[in-house]
Amino acid sequence: MSDTATRAFPSKKRPARRWIDFFREPLRRVEAESRAYLASDAARRPDRKVIIVLVTAALGLTVQRFIAMDDGLPLIAGLLRDINLPDLAANFEEAMTAQINRLTWWAAVSLLMYVVVPMLIVRLVFRERVRDYGVKLGGVFADFWVYALMMALAWPAIFLASSNARFQNTYPFYRLAPDEGAWPNLVRWELLYTLQFFGVEFFFRGFMVHGLKYRFGAYAIFVMMVPYCMLHFHKPFVEALVSIIGAIALGFMSLRTRSIWMGTAIHVSVAWSMDAASLWRQGWLG
């Protein structure tokens, strides 16, 4: 084919090429970084970082499950009594009778295990910059259109799913009493929920993905995907399935942009939309 004929049909190849490059370029970059690491002397020694990241992930999720959830509260009270603090144990149990306090406890423990502990490990053990684990501010809005497309796909799905009774029985986590308004407890909960999602994104798409990428390359996304999916086992079945897709998509975008901020934004937007849709279906929003 002549050059003139080739130039006559540029639009047939360019969109496809852009899509291929969109996925291929960051994956090639990450794989090149991984191969360079694996060829280095450091890779011949036991990989301390991989061990620490995965053990921290396992411990963090275990603590979050058995300490933060409602069925872990008696364990905390029992431990306080075991160390001869019965008054503190009694005060803790009394405080946890309030739904908002139980949810606050859950969010606080989650932030401790998802954010505080991993950040301390990055700074004090790895001696690295936390910003390199997805929290840098530069390039926050890179590929914004991708996240906008994700939300455009998510909203109709949320609307349809919100008609399901299981969905309405799950969301929002803070259950309004019949004569209760949104202020202050529901608003307080939604703010805590937002902070918790930053923790989730940093833990999975920041700490795990960027902490494992030199050993596993782009496959770090799939290593992270498994525990992230399991985090959704107590939620509706379809949501647990969708979490697999979400983990892969947001993990890829974290590698591509080196940022978790837009992933956090879309996660919060989806969560707020789900709560709002459920409340609307239940008649709270008119």
Mean pLDDT of 3-29: 69
Predicted confidence band of residue 203 (pLDDT cuts 50, 70, 90): very high
Residue 7 has pLDDT above 60, yes or no: no
Between 223 and 236, the more confident residue is 223
Give the pLDDT of residue 20: 87
Contact 114, 203 (CB under 8 A): yes
Confidence of residue 32 (pLDDT cuts 50, 70, 90): very high
Output the average pLDDT for the chain.
92
Portion of the chain with pLDDT greater than 90, in percent: 84
pLDDT value for 12: 52
pLDDT in tens, 239-286: 999 999 999 999 999 999 999 999 999 999 999 999 999 999 999 986
Listed residue (277, 205, 282, 213) closest to 239, CA to CA? 277
Q: Kindly state the tokens that stand for 274.
A: 């789900």
pLDDT over threshold 80, residue 1: no
Taking 60 as the threshold, does the pLDDT of residue 4 lie above it? no
How many CA atoms are closer than 13 Å to the CA of 75, on its beta-carbon side?
A: 10
Dihedral over Cα of 49, 194, 107, 158: its sign = negative
Asked if pLDDT for residue 13 goes beyond 70, the answer is no
Residue 222 clears pLDDT 60, i.e. is over it: yes
Mean of the pLDDT values across residues 51-69?
96
What is the per-residue burial (b if ≥16 Cβ within 10 Å, else e) of 78-93? eebeeeeeeeebeebe
- Predicted local confidence at residue 77, as pLDDT: 95
Residue whose C-alpha is closest to residue 157's, from 54, 24, 274: 274
Q: Which residues of 222-257 are buried (b: 16+ CB within 10 A; e: fewer)?
A: ebbbebbbebbeeebeebeebbeebbebbbbbbbbb
- pLDDT at site 286: 65
What is the Cα–Cα distance from 264 to 259, expressed in whole angstroms? 10
pTM for the whole thing? Answer: 0.91
Which CB contacts under 8 angstroms, 24+ apart, belong to 71-79? 73/102, 73/105
State mean pLDDT over 128-135.
97
